Amino acid sequence: MLNIGILVGSLRRDSFNRKVAEVLMAVAPASLKTSIIEIGQLPFFNQDDEANPPAAWLEFRQQLKNIDGFLIVTPEYNRSVPAVIKNAIDVGSRPYGQSLWNGKPCAIVSASIGAIGGFGANHHLRQSMVFLNAPCMQQPEVYLSYVDKLFDEHGQLTNQGTRDFLTQFMETYANWVKVNAHPR
């Protein structure tokens, strides 16, 4: 079984992106063990703290060591990446030369209440993952537009076409990780 960590780029209590992450976990093939890695508690990265890293950094880095691959599920803020995601990437990539993203297969899902589905954030994240040598799955791309219309008042996904698409995405991702994961 492959361990997959999921990072959610929205901290909002009723986050649509967290709901999307929960759907991805529910439709994931049995070959994947998925879990959300919380990132909202991470102090901002400051290189001055590398000699004596905060406990939250150490715990987060340990979680990254124990995964075979990861998903990022994120909204788009101002045509870019939410600060909480960027901070998690920075914390996991340091100290320099010891990036915990290195070689770990990833995929990016963006969801927005707008029409372009977080396209800008999705592609900014792809740039970072290329630099960090995390093989990022290219297809299928996932940009969920009008995500606020996809869930009912109980937080349940109501659009069967979206569920089918996310199921196919997770099956493709499971194969991507199987092919690209390195032994821990």
Categorise residue 143: left if φ over 0, alpha if ψ from -120 to 50, beta otherwise.
beta
Rounded to an integer, the average pLDDT of 162-174 is 98
Cis, peptide link before residue 140, omega less than 30° from 0 = yes
Q: Which amino acid, residue 144?
A: L
Q: What does the pLDDT look like over 36-84, one tens digit per residue?
A: 999 999 999 999 999 999 999 999 999 999 999 999 999 999 999 999 9
Mean pLDDT of the chain: 96
> What's residue 182's pLDDT?
83
What are the respective helix, strand and coil percentages of the chain, to the nearest 5? 40, 15, 40
SS3 of residue 57 by DSSP? helix
- Position 184 confidence tier, pLDDT thresholds 50, 70, 90: low
Of 117, 104, 139, 127, whose CA–CA distance to 7 is shortest?
Answer: 104
> What's residue 183's pLDDT?
73
Half-sphere exposure of 109 (CA within 13 A, CB side): 28
Rounded to an integer, the average pLDDT of 161-178 is 98
**In degrees rounded to 5, what are phi and psi of residue 170?**
-70, -35
Cis, peptide link before residue 82, omega less than 30° from 0 = no
Cα maximum dimension of the chain: 50
Q: Where are the domains of the chain?
A: 2-47+55-180
pTM, rounded to two decimals: 0.95
Domain 2-47+55-180 listed as CATH 2.60.40.10? no
Please report how the helices 119-131 and 83-93 are oriented relative to each other, as an axis angle in degrees rounded to 10: 10
